[in-house]
Copies of this chain bind each other. A is one copy, B any other.
Amino acid sequence: MNLSLYTEPSRFSEPHAKGKHVVIIDVLRASSTIVHACENGVERIIPVAHVEDATKLVPTLDREATLLGGEREGIKIDGFDLGNSPLDYTPEVVEGKTLVFTTSNGTVAIAQSAPADEVIIGCFLNLRAVVEHLLTTRPDEVAILCSGNLGQLSLEDFVCGGYVVRSLEERLGSGLVRNDGAGAARSLAGCLPDIEGVIGSSTHGRKLAALGFEDDLEFCSRLDAFDTVPVVAEGRITGKIRNRR
């Protein structure tokens, strides 16, 4: 397995995506929210890059069965039903619903990955499930695409990517060939075992804490809490539940 990690999506153009199986990581908070919504029975998620795409889409859908979710600058968008706090995506709220979803970085990474062979969503919450999925499907070419923050590396995404690399390496040994980004992230994950500390010290984590989202930080740092692997296909995300305990 050839494994490349990208620190942010702006250079992840078509030649990089093509033929690859992509894991999109946006720990704070798009990946964590998508995983939680899928775990809690959302019917499908329609990721869109721009707020206007979301508002244009709504009149074409059954409004009763549709939720509008997402953020800009960390805050719920005006007129939307939900923000980007994973804790709001409870079974009572999301079960059986269609979620139209837009965030600052995560949905950009999803759009960039369109040419890939497979796109799945990962974070600390479903880390083991993502790794098991990759070990079962055994693609030759895997890309870990960190969402980053407006074109820059995000500590929490980079370290989470490193945890994926480390888990794959433990199982595949020399069968795993990594790029430097994957190697650097893996080494960093090895020396930063305190996930909540990583998330809390990150730029985005500190910003969310200042906005009052401390509970989200604690939630997003839970390792292997869920077995859902959200899969992006034909512009829709649906949850694939693996290894239900």
Is B202 a contact of A180 with CB atoms below 8 Å? yes
- Tell whether, in the assembled complex, residue A184 and residue B203 are in contact, meaning their CB atoms are under 8 Å apart: no
Please judge, given known A-B contacts A10-B10, A11-B10, A190-B191, whether A153 and B201 are in contact too, CB under 8 Å.
no
Report if A188 contacts B (CB, 8 A): yes
- A31 at interface, CB cutoff 8 A: no
Query: Is the interface on chain A under 10, 10 to 19, 20 to 34, or 35 or more residues?
Result: 20 to 34
Contacts of A180 in B (CB 8 A): 149, 152-155, 158, 202-204
CA distance A179 to B4 in the complex (A): 23
Report the separation of the CA atoms of residues A65 and B190 in the bound assembly, to the nearest whole angstrom: 51
Contact partners of A158 in chain B: CB under 8 A:
180, 184
Inter-chain CA distance A183–B6, complex, in Å, is 17
Task: Please tell me if the beta carbons of A7 and B153 are within 8 angstroms of each other in the complex.
Answer: yes
Mask of A135-157 contacts with B, CB within 8 angstroms, 1/0 = 00000000000000101111100
Q: Name which residue of chain B comes closest to A10, CB basis.
A: B11
Q: Is there contact, CB below 8 Å, between A11 and B184?
A: no
Indicate if A192 sits at the interface (CB-CB under 8 A): yes
Query: How would residues 147 to 173 of chain A score, 1 for a CB under 8 Å from any chain B CB and 0 otherwise?
Result: 001011111001100000000000000
A85 to chain B, nearest CB (A): 21
| Residues 44-57 of chain A, each 1 if its beta carbon lies under 8 Å from chain B, else 0 | 00000000000000
Given A7-B7, A10-B10: 14 more A-B contacts, CB < 8 Å: A6-B152, A7-B181, A11-B11, A11-B151, A11-B152, A149-B180, A152-B179, A155-B183, A158-B184, A179-B203, A180-B202, A180-B203, A187-B191, A191-B191
The 8 A-B residue pairs with the shortest CB-CB distance, nearest first, are A191-B191, A155-B180, A153-B181, A11-B151, A188-B188, A180-B203, A7-B7, A155-B184
